[in-house]
Amino acid sequence: MRDDIASETGTFDAAEEIHPLFRGAPTSTEFRKLRKRLVRETRAAIETYDMIRPGDRWLVCLSGGKDSYTLLAVLHELKWRGLLPVELLACNLDQGQPGFPATVLPEFLTERQVAHRIEYQDTYSIVKEKVPEGRTYCSLCSRLRRGNLYRIAREEGCQAVVLGHHRDDILETFFMNLFHGGRLASMPPKLLNEEGDLNVLRPLAFVAEADCERFARAMNYPVIPCDLCGSQEGLQRMQVKKLLDEWETRAPGRRQVMFRALMNVRPSHLPDPKLFDFTALMPDASDFREKDVPILREH
């Protein structure tokens, strides 16, 4: 991580608010440290995975959850400070869940002077119709949401769809694939879609979920719970989250160690012949010496 990241984000002691998204921000030392850490880690992920192409337009997906609120605020902080030379457009996809508070996000974004688009698409009814009772909604729900977000990004002239997945989401996906999918894979911080016209970015890749929760709660953002996937019991992701929580309780810092492991992969030490050329691992015949061969004598 470059030293200038810390220096350029070290001016949080000023009393003035940086952006309307930070209206009413706590002035405590603890919150200032949290805010600096979020900005530092987000910028580090953006630089590590080369997410910025100056002049691009990013569609920042806002679900109304703690993670997407954190993403929106930190990206605007970076842009405000001249460290993110892209245009930001917030987008909420209202998927038609019964009781969804449709006015909360438009009012929030308008009051805080955030450019945005609200899109209504009733994917909720499709998911409820297509998914049998007792099965999880997540897979179909996410595919429908992703398809709509790609369409909106193209309509708005965006080059990237930006999501609020954090470090813990990446870890949980890794273990879900390990336990249930039979593969070593997770969420990449940067991905080119199949059509090759949009990047999918996850700038919170280095950020802990607990920090997102602390930040959104301290800012008193109007968090909207998920009444579809989030309402189901016994989800594989929830089971994995519980397991990681138990590990973290027994050994604080375990999540960060595991995440570092995902950034320190050794293909030659994994048994995947498609990942590493094991057939090339042969000793050099020129190193073979006759003197190394035992001589058998007749008696």
The answer to whether residues 124 and 97 touch, using CB atoms and an 8 Å cutoff, is: yes
115 lies in some domain: yes
Tokens of 286: 């020129």
294 lies in some domain: no
- pLDDT tens digit sequence for 277-294: 999 998 876 655 555 555
The CATH number that applies at residue 184 is: 3.40.50.620
For the chain, what is the mean pLDDT?
A: 87
pLDDT at 13 exceeding the cut of 90: no
Query: Which one is predicted more confidently, 5 or 77?
Result: 77
36 lies in some domain: yes
Give the pLDDT of residue 8.
47
What average pLDDT does the segment 25-34 reach?
Answer: 96
Pairing of strands 190-192, 160-162: unpaired
- Burial of 38 by CB count in 10 Å (0-12 exposed, 13-18 middle, 19+ buried)? buried
Q: Check: pTM over 0.95? Answer yes or no.
A: no
Give the pLDDT of residue 7.
45
- Burial of 149 by CB count in 10 Å (0-12 exposed, 13-18 middle, 19+ buried)? buried
Tell me how far apart the alpha carbons of residues 136 and 139 are, in angstroms, rounded to a whole number.
Answer: 7
Give the pLDDT of residue 83.
95
Structural domain boundaries enclosing 219: 3-286
- Asked which of 40-49, 167-176, 190-199, 217-226 is least confident by mean pLDDT, the reply is 217-226
Q: Residues of the chain with pLDDT > 70: what percent? A: 83
292 lies in some domain: no
What average pLDDT does the segment 176-193 reach?
Answer: 94
What average pLDDT does the segment 222-237 reach?
Answer: 66
27 lies in some domain: yes
135 lies in some domain: yes
**Closest CA relative to residue 45, chosen from 252, 210, 188:** 188
293 lies in some domain: no
269 lies in some domain: yes
Give the pLDDT of residue 15.
43
Number of domains in the chain: 1
